[in-house]
Amino acid sequence: MQCHYCDREAAVAVEKEHIKVGLCEEHFRDRLEELSEGDWLGDLEEKLDVDRS
């Protein structure tokens, strides 16, 4: 999956309001503050750990 914001390969894929969005690690960090408003951030962090293991 490609990052939603640039041409790099996405490090994480998140689903928000039934739309799947890929984010590279840089853009994931950029968006972390605004994303943290949602309840799904906990799930996202779990997925990130899985991806890195």
44 binds Zn ion (CB under 5 A): no
* Torsion sign, CA atoms 31, 26, 9, 4: positive
* Torsion sign, CA atoms 17, 5, 25, 12: positive
Given 11, 14, 21, 24, the residue binding Zn ion (CB under 5 A): 24
Nearer to Zn ion, 5 or 40 (CB): 5
6 binds Zn ion (CB under 5 A): yes
Q: For the chain, what is the total number of helices (H) and then of strands (E)?
A: 2, 2
Q: How near is the Cβ of 12 to Zn ion at its closest, in Å?
A: 11
Residue ranges binding Zn ion (CB under 5 A): 3, 5-6, 24, 27
